[in-house]
Structure 1
Amino acid sequence: MNYQQLDPDKKDILIIDDKPDNLRVLSSLLARKGYNVRKALNWQMALTACQTVLPDLILLDIMMPEVDGYEVCRRFKSWDVTADIPVIFISALDDIFDKIKAFRLGGVDYITKPFEFEEVVVRVQNQLELRAARLEILKLNTELEQRVKYRTLELENTLEKLQGEIASRQQLQDKLLDIVLHDSLTGLPNRVLFIRQLGNALDLAKQDISYQFAVLYLDCDRFKVVNDSLGHIVGDELLIAIAHRLQLCLNSGDTLARLGGDEFGILIENLRDISSAIQVAELMLQQLSIPFKLSRYEVFMNASIGINWGNKDYEKAEYLLRDADTAMYRAKAQGKARYKLFDPAMYQEAIQLLEIENDLRRAVEREEFIIYYQPIISLHTGRISGFEALVRWLHPVRGLIAPTEFIPVAEETGLINAIDIWVLQSACHQLRIWQNHPATPKNLTISVNLSARLFTQPNLIAQIDKIIYETQVNPLNLELEITESVIMENTNVVKTIIEEIKNRKIKLVMDDFGTGYSSLSYIHSFPLHSLKIDKSFITQMQFHQDTMGLVPAIISIAESMGMTVIAEGVETKEQLAKLRSLNCDFAQGYLFSQPLEEQSVVNFIADAHQW
């Protein structure tokens, strides 16, 4: 095979990603930086590209069908021709396990999506410089061997030159080591060096029972907002300032490292007890709460910190950092700008969450979901007016799983989009079947919940149109339930989608009204048909006999805006009577029926209940 450089003046970069959009964006941006850029959608294309022209660097996505990024990296590292080509992983996977696996397979760096392009450029440049340095070292070694072999008769002169070349090689090696082990922006140790030093501390703790240490994992809570709004130059300036402040909180024997992005690792050694580590965390939070006066802006920042005591029973330093990271995420989940001590139960919860996520991904592929339908009753006629579609997960091992357990995971991972569209398709199909039954009311409606994440998808309207076309359901009988977080976004995309929904005569229902932002200034700007009162307000009516809590106010708001009102969680006849006295339009809850399986709905309709 003939391996030729495309352009000797340009470095060649091969991008491997199954997403054409990702390839196009990265290719365009790197090409503007003066690189030859080639693209591959899968392993076979990548192999052909390398057989044609050997790249200087590979950017590799992990999540790809058939042959994923891990396997692609392993194959390249096992092939002598490509073994020395540096591989940088670029992936949305941000778990410490994914990153460790990437480095174990031979990856030289790991960039988490969504990435900052400036960071990608710097990392690419660093790795290309590293490779150039390695090649230079190999070249020097080859020259040294040749000179020793062919110039034995000129030993004195060769020895003098050899000493100079050895010194040059040492300088290159020192430079290479410095690049590999330090962050180019802040000059701090990077993740590789931090793990090495953490390992040394763990070994020392195993040997000396009196030696105590702790590891802290710090993540800035608002850095992305600053970076996106003020730009990456300001973001870099802020990171340098943050690193400086954190360093002021530590003793000379402690270690501060930049682990990537806006994440920092701290190794505190020679501690008396955990309270010393807590004091450092509190000092860091205090220091970061002071405004940063940058060259052009004043920026406010806070952070979440996870603390893990240096237990000598840990097998690997990576596990120490992993558990500190877990504690940090718990601190972030509890409100940010705080610290949290690691508890072993957190790790078990994290593992369980990971298992749920993995099972949920398979569940989406296998359509392991079923829909229950809860009747909605008109309080004016006392008869059924429609049903709300409620999704449940029928797990092959654990059985029926409630939405409170899997919906948050689906929201976080983005799987909620596929689930919501499946529910909408299935519910519309089912409504069409029911409408063919003679006992079904003419204007029976179906109500489906849509996640706020769906409203960021530009093809949402096209998907709704397709479902209506395929199921032949009348849009007038379709109600889409959204939460306040959708309209609080108030973006042009959201406004356009909602306007398109209105144009199709589909009704929009504000779900759980009053439990979120409750911004009336936003509500009147959107074409809402109904407000749904959360169950918690219905329950509170019995404790506020005089005012009945907020329910009268919510009904009054809806009436003033020409909207109907649906009360959730009605369980007693007393609640029903109070809602009727307040002129509430609709209600649903266990008083009328629990959510029904689809085969039970027709019988429920045929029974013609009246309340």
Structure 2
Amino acid sequence: MTKILVIEDERTHRINLHKVLSVEGFETIIAENGNMGVDLALQEQPDLIICDILMPELDGYKVLKALQQNPITASIPFIFITAKSDPSDMRLGMNLGADDYLTKPFKRSEIVEAIATRLQKQVLIKKQHTQERMQAEAIMSYLLRYDRITNLPNRFLLAERFQELLTQNEATPEPIPILSLGVERLKQLHNTLGPARCNALLQSIAERIKNLLGKDDTIAQIGPDRFIILLTQSYQKSEVSQIAEILIDAFASPFPIEIHDIFLSPRIGIAFFGRDGRDLDTLIQHASAAMEDAQQTGKLRYQFYLASIGDKSKAALLLEQELRQGIERGEFQLYYQPKVNMPTGQIDGAEALIRWFHPKRGFVSPGDFIPLAEKTGLIVPLGEWVLRSACTQARVWQDAGFSPLRVAVNLSGHQFNENEVDLNGLVVDILKETGLNSSYLELELTESILMENPQAAIATLHKLKSLGIRISIDDFGTGYSSLSYLSQFPFDVLKIDRSFICQLPEDDKNRAITIAILQMAHRLNLKIVAEGVETKSQLMFLEEHQCDEIQGYWFSPPLSAKDFSDLLHSGKSLPLVSASC
């Protein structure tokens, strides 16, 4: 029954209104004054309120204000009744939020019609609010279960569907396969392409994968570069292998994003419910561990989970924790490998190389911790420390009276592909802080870093070059080796990778490649450094073909800062091979 609250101080009007409303079938509550009316409105929460304006203590206007300020009563339809017929009074009441205004004396039909109109309007408002609430709930439910960029299910919905599948298969348990698909370089591309293009790339990846799966299969996105696939139809290992191959082959063609053609390399790890775990979190963990193991080997396109992989994952997690602690505790040192000027035989620079001396593990190979630092993002603080320490040491040698040496520091993909303003600012700050002239700093980058986004890389390199820094391309010949881009990059130095040098001069193919690189670099006015020089015959070959600098064990291994200082004190130089022959 519809409940109506009447607030009226005059007894006769109260009785008349009560009779009228009762005859019309309304439940009527009576308040003799404004204060009582506010209290009853809060207690009873009526469907409509009829209130006199002229009342002692708390008049109708104050009653309405009090009710409007309380969220419990603010939306209740409110009708004023009064003997005052001045239009300004009516306007005041309506401005305060009243729904209607009746002047005394009024006919029974007028009050009944006013009530009916207000209640009908309230029904429509409630209906609209209900629809809006349902829409909001639907949106919230969607946002709770789907990724907003790719519109793929997220981990929450994946868990729901996994549980549904377990319930369906409860009578006849099947080895449900879970696939973890990781896409290499996707995190780095976010920095080079920018958020909008990377979102478009993610959408293209999601669409391509989704089109290859069955209608009952689920592909969920659980990270910026990680997708989890729940298969419902294929249970045999051979069938799952075929699906993994199909998914990987789908990445063979590029993803066109505006003017870019993006090539991506996926890796897949596979775990089975029952064999590799009985809950979703464990299965995702094991499938992802198998995927990461496939990534690290670089040979397997997909891999099934094995217990030994889990052991390696635990070891990697422990190493990551120790790596974080090592950075905080200062367990790292820089070693310096001399770079020798071939025409003069004198040391004219050094490459800074990071070394980790763990208190329990002892020496940890860079091959073990550098990839982990790249993967976890710890390479950024680690790289900043290397840059600052190398510049500081170069200035120390200068202050000690040695001829100024140019120190070379390797930049990681994370460092270079972060916001270029941050990188430029970091370099400027460190040079200012250490007092090192920019001409004595050399930054080394690999081809693969530069070719992720060549146009952006060219712009960043030009800004770095404008600071007076020397730019070197490292490990040349092992990456893309795009000659068209090489002529556009503002390089000063080209370093020939040790994989070519180690087989000189015996291997005819390497001889031809190395000679071609040397000749090309000279035509482009680039200085050439050969790394990994270990034999006299290699040195003779490089001198014969006018290599500018060498570094390698033939002259010296990487040395601690103290040992490098002792080497400088000794005045050791590289005997010219041609002069000694």
- TM-score of the superposition, structure 2-length normalised? 0.62
Q: 2:550 aligns with which of 582, 587, 590?
A: 587
> Partner of 2:572: helix, strand, or coil?
coil
Unpaired runs of 5+ in structure 1?
Answer: 1-167, 249-253
Q: 1:499 aligns with which of 449, 462, 466?
A: 462
CA 454–290 in structure 1, closer or farther in 2 if over 3 Å, else same: closer
Q: 2:523 aligns with which of 544, 547, 560?
A: 560
Deviates more, 1:425-434 or 1:273-282: 273-282
Equivalence for 2:429: 466
Q: 2:230 aligns with which of 266, 280, 289?
A: 266
CA contact (8 A) 1:306 1:328 kept: yes
Equivalence for 1:131: none
1:344 is matched by which residue type in structure 2? A
CA shift digits 1:443-479 (9 cap, x unpaired): 4322222223323331222222222223222333222
Equivalence for 1:29: none
Equivalence for 1:256: 218
- Deviation of residue 565 (structure 1)? 1.2
Counterpart CA distance in 2 for 1:301 and 1:490 is 13
Equivalence for 1:429: 392
- Deviation of residue 334 (structure 1)? 6.8
- Deviation of residue 301 (structure 1)? 9.8
Counterpart CA distance in 1 for 2:286 and 2:428 is 47
Unpaired runs of 5+ in structure 2?
Answer: 1-129, 576-581
Q: 2:413 aligns with which of 445, 449, 452?
A: 452
CA shift digits 1:472-510 (9 cap, x unpaired): 223332222222245435666644443343333322222
Q: 1:247 aligns with which of 214, 218, 237?
A: 214
> Partner of 1:536: helix, strand, or coil?
helix
Counterpart CA distance in 2 for 1:292 and 1:591 is 46
Counterpart CA distance in 1 for 2:209 and 2:509 is 54
CA contact (8 A) 2:337 2:551 kept: yes
Counterpart CA distance in 1 for 2:294 and 2:266 is 9
CA 228–335 in structure 1, closer or farther in 2 if over 3 Å, else same: farther
- Deviation of residue 373 (structure 1)? 1.0
1:128-167 aligned within 5 A: none
Counterpart CA distance in 2 for 1:510 and 1:381 is 23
CA shift digits 1:384-431 (9 cap, x unpaired): 222211111222332222222212222233322222222222122212
1:504 is matched by which residue type in structure 2? L
Structure 2 residue 156 is matched with structure 1 residue 195: no
- Deviation of residue 310 (structure 1)? 2.8
Counterpart CA distance in 2 for 1:216 and 1:447 is 43
Counterpart CA distance in 2 for 1:390 and 1:189 is 44
- Deviation of residue 556 (structure 1)? 0.8
- Deviation of residue 219 (structure 1)? 5.8
Counterpart CA distance in 2 for 1:515 and 1:373 is 23
CA 462–544 in structure 1, closer or farther in 2 if over 3 Å, else same: same
CA contact (8 A) 1:202 1:312 kept: no
1:369-380 aligned within 5 A: 369-380=332-343
1:167-186 aligned within 5 A: 183=146
2:408 is matched by which residue type in structure 1? S
2:229 is matched by which residue type in structure 1? G
CA 308–528 in structure 1, closer or farther in 2 if over 3 Å, else same: same
> Partner of 1:246: helix, strand, or coil?
coil
Deviates more, 1:351-360 or 1:276-285: 276-285
CA contact (8 A) 1:216 1:307 kept: yes
Structure 2 residue 317 is matched with structure 1 residue 350: no
- Deviation of residue 339 (structure 1)? 3.6
Counterpart CA distance in 1 for 2:378 and 2:426 is 16
Counterpart CA distance in 1 for 2:427 and 2:310 is 40
Deviates more, 1:255-264 or 1:413-422: 255-264
- Deviation of residue 188 (structure 1)? 8.4
Counterpart CA distance in 2 for 1:238 and 1:507 is 39
Q: 1:392 aligns with which of 352, 355, 370?
A: 355
Equivalence for 2:367: 404
1:477 is matched by which residue type in structure 2? Y
Counterpart CA distance in 2 for 1:189 and 1:501 is 43
CA 277–428 in structure 1, closer or farther in 2 if over 3 Å, else same: closer
- Deviation of residue 559 (structure 1)? 1.1
Counterpart CA distance in 1 for 2:333 and 2:287 is 38
Equivalence for 1:599: 562
> Partner of 1:320: helix, strand, or coil?
helix
2:309 is matched by which residue type in structure 1? M
CA 360–213 in structure 1, closer or farther in 2 if over 3 Å, else same: same
CA shift digits 1:109-137 (9 cap, x unpaired): xxxxxxxxxxxxxxxxxxxxxxxxxxxxx
2:506 is matched by which residue type in structure 1? F
> Partner of 2:349: helix, strand, or coil?
strand
CA shift digits 1:577-611 (9 cap, x unpaired): 11111111111111111111111122211222232
- Deviation of residue 531 (structure 1)? 1.1
Deviates more, 1:397-406 or 1:334-343: 334-343
Counterpart CA distance in 2 for 1:447 and 1:560 is 23
Q: 1:539 aligns with which of 502, 510, 513?
A: 502
Structure 2 residue 444 is matched with structure 1 residue 477: no
- Deviation of residue 212 (structure 1)? 3.9
CA contact (8 A) 1:221 1:336 kept: no
Equivalence for 2:532: 569
1:448 is matched by which residue type in structure 2? V
Counterpart CA distance in 2 for 1:535 and 1:549 is 15
- Deviation of residue 553 (structure 1)? 1.2
> Partner of 2:451: helix, strand, or coil?
helix
CA contact (8 A) 1:191 1:257 kept: no
- Deviation of residue 337 (structure 1)? 11
Counterpart CA distance in 1 for 2:181 and 2:528 is 46
Counterpart CA distance in 1 for 2:264 and 2:183 is 7
1:376 is matched by which residue type in structure 2? K
> Partner of 1:430: helix, strand, or coil?
helix
Q: 2:514 aligns with which of 542, 551, 561?
A: 551
1:592 is matched by which residue type in structure 2? F
CA shift digits 1:92-124 (9 cap, x unpaired): xxxxxxxxxxxxxxxxxxxxxxxxxxxxxxxxx
Counterpart CA distance in 1 for 2:480 and 2:154 is 41
Question: What percent of counterpart residues are identical?
Answer: 35
CA 360–292 in structure 1, closer or farther in 2 if over 3 Å, else same: closer
> Partner of 1:247: helix, strand, or coil?
coil
CA 379–309 in structure 1, closer or farther in 2 if over 3 Å, else same: same
Counterpart CA distance in 1 for 2:279 and 2:157 is 14
CA contact (8 A) 2:276 2:283 kept: no
Counterpart CA distance in 1 for 2:474 and 2:253 is 39
Counterpart CA distance in 2 for 1:184 and 1:481 is 38
Deviates more, 1:340-349 or 1:487-496: 487-496
Counterpart CA distance in 2 for 1:237 and 1:425 is 41
CA contact (8 A) 1:461 1:500 kept: yes
- Deviation of residue 540 (structure 1)? 1.9
Counterpart CA distance in 1 for 2:511 and 2:255 is 48
Equivalence for 2:108: none
CA contact (8 A) 1:478 1:507 kept: yes
